[in-house]
Amino acid sequence: MTLVDSSCWIELLTDGRHADKIDEIISQEEVVVPTVVLYEVYRQLIKKIDAEEALLAVTQLEEMKVVPLDSELSLYAAELSLKHKLGTADAVIYATALNHQAEVITCDNDFRLLPHCRVIE
């Protein structure tokens, strides 16, 4: 199982330089999508394209296994945030991945030294 981070989704949806690698990963794995990733991706896309196009692009993420942020996951993310010095969104993403035994695929170097994370370069 894989959790594709916001940075990778944005790369894929805007046809960035890592889009082919990310597309290959997504096509081979079951993908988990935390709701905070939906938020981050939509937020970034509406800066670049109109809201209707951004919403259409984000529907691709909703075809995956979307995981809502509940109280248990929130508390776990808070612990991971303090332990690994992660920002809120990154901690929620990492907690979701660990809860689902998923590897985080990201373009974000903040995950570089964390177990179960792969940074696409």
pLDDT of 34-90, one tens digit each? 999 999 999 999 998 888 889 999 998 999 999 999 999 999 999 999 999 999 999
Quick one: tokens of 80? 């991971």
Q: Which helix (H) or strand (E) holds 33?
A: strand 31-34
pTM: 0.93
- Burial track 2-24 (b if 16+ CB lie within 10 A, e otherwise): bbbbbbbbbbbbeeeebeebbee
Q: What is the DSSP letter of 71?
A: H
Inter-residue contact 3 to 103 (CB < 8 Å): yes
Question: Domains in the chain, ordered, with CATH?
Answer: 2-119 (3.40.50.1010)
Output the average pLDDT for the chain: 94
* pLDDT number for residue 29: 86
Please give the pLDDT value at position 121. Answer: 85
DSSP letters for 94-116 = HHHHHHTT-EEEES-GGGTTSTT
Residue 22 has pLDDT above 90, yes or no: yes
